[in-house]
Structure formats: C-alpha cells, structure tokens
Amino acid sequence: MGHHEAHGREVTSTAEAAEYGRKLFAQECRFVMGAAEGGDLPPDRLPEVAFAGRSNVGKSSLVNALTGRRTLARISNTPGRTRQVNFFDLGGRLMLVDLPGYGFARAPKTDIHRWTTLLRDYLRGRVGLRRVCLLVDARHGLKEGDREMMDLLVEAAVPFRVILTKADKMKAGPLAEMIGAVEADLRRYPAAMPEVLVTSARDGVGVVEMRADLAVLAAPERLG
C-alpha cells in the first residue's frame, strides 16, 4: 500500500507525504472555541482530528510539537478549559480537537457523568470527525480508562489510532515489546487502525510520520 491521498491525487513517496504534512502543520493554528456542553459545539465545516488520552499523557506537548507552537498548551491548560472540548483551526483545512483528559479518579461523579455525556455527544454527532488519536504513555500501555475510551469509539464507529507517547523514556527492547502487546490488543477493536505510531515530543520522534498520517485527512488547499 503506502499510498496517500492528497490534493485529490496520489502521493506515492514517503518524502512527498512528509513534505505535504510539514506544509499543512506549518499553517496558522487558531483557537476557535471551547465547548462545555454538547449544544455548544461549533459548526461541523472542516474535517476533524481529535486527540484523546489520560491526564498527563503528554497531549499538549505532542500537539505543540506537531504544530510548532504553544497555543494549545496555553489554552487547553487554562483552568476551566481542561474540561471542555477545545477546537483549533489549522490553516482552514483541518480542525484539531483537544478532548478532556481522563483518569482523574477523584473527580466528583456528577463531573465525570457530564464529561462522558459531552464526549458521547461529540463522538456521535460530528460528521466531519475523521479520526481520533488515542494517546497512550509508552511506559504504561493500555489502562482501564483507555479501554473505556476505545469502547466509546467502537460504539460511535469512529476510526482511531493509538499513539504511544514519551518513547524517549524507554529502551528499545521494552518499547518493541510494548508496541507488540498493544497492537495485539487492538485486534479486538474493529474501529482501531492496526499499527500504532511511536512518538516523543521531547526528541521529535514520530512527529514527521504523524503529520503525514493526518495531512491526508485535511481538506484540499484553496486555489487562488
């Protein structure tokens, strides 16, 4: 395979896909809004890629590495915004969506219920949602919260790819074992893409590949 769709044509080389991804993620990344309730979601006008993961998985760091800016960390880590679905417009071609981190066992049940409802409303109702990037700490692998999220994604029929983060904190042998274990686990989830991507925001590992992987989902460039 190895072929990517871009500009409505085939991109056949890895180098071409990487350059296409670099150009897209070099565009301005503008904060659109944060939605706290399902009814607050913005118009569904662009292809969307959402980022999900446990709290402290390194989501903001990775998205900052992808876009080369610190906008997302600043906005998504603002008190009150961490429990919203935050929308960022990437060059008018792709909407990047930051989903609330999960895994706060001490949160009140009413809050957990509200976030789950918001998440379900978002996942089920977005026509433009092309993919969810499910970020998982490479050192810890899949946890209960990740499996609950994957069940939600299967239920909503949303394709997702597992992205292993913080790969720089692991030696090659254990990392390879973790990749094998996670990919074996993913076979049970029909919405999962079979291959995981390995990343490190600190070292830049996997950033080029991830940009290329996501760029094929973007709207074509406007002509003129």
pLDDT in tens, 60-70: 899 999 999 87
Q: Is the pLDDT of residue 200 over 60?
A: yes
Count of CB atoms situated within 10 Å of the CB of 33: 13
Pairing of strands 9-11, 4-6: antiparallel
What single letter denotes the amino acid at residue 198?
A: V
CA distance 18 to 9: 15
Counting residues of the chain whose pLDDT is more than 70, the rounded percentage is: 87
Q: What is the DSSP letter of 94?
A: E
Q: Is the pLDDT of residue 205 over 90?
A: yes
Q: Is the pLDDT of residue 12 over 60?
A: no
Q: What is the pLDDT of residue 83?
A: 77
| β-bridge partners, 98 | 51, 86
pTM for this predicted structure: 0.89
Q: Which domains does the chain have, with CATH numbers?
A: 4-215 (3.40.50.300)
Highest mean pLDDT among 6-20, 89-103, 107-121, 158-172: 158-172
Which band of pLDDT confidence, cut at 50, 70 and 90, is reported for residue 109? confident
Could you tell me which residues come within 8 angstroms of residue 113 by beta carbon, excluding any fewer than 6 positions away? Answer: none
CA distance 36 to 63: 21
Q: What is the pLDDT of residue 217?
A: 95
Average pLDDT, the chain: 87
Which band of pLDDT confidence, cut at 50, 70 and 90, is reported for residue 3? very low
CA distance 99 to 59: 10
Which band of pLDDT confidence, cut at 50, 70 and 90, is reported for residue 78? low
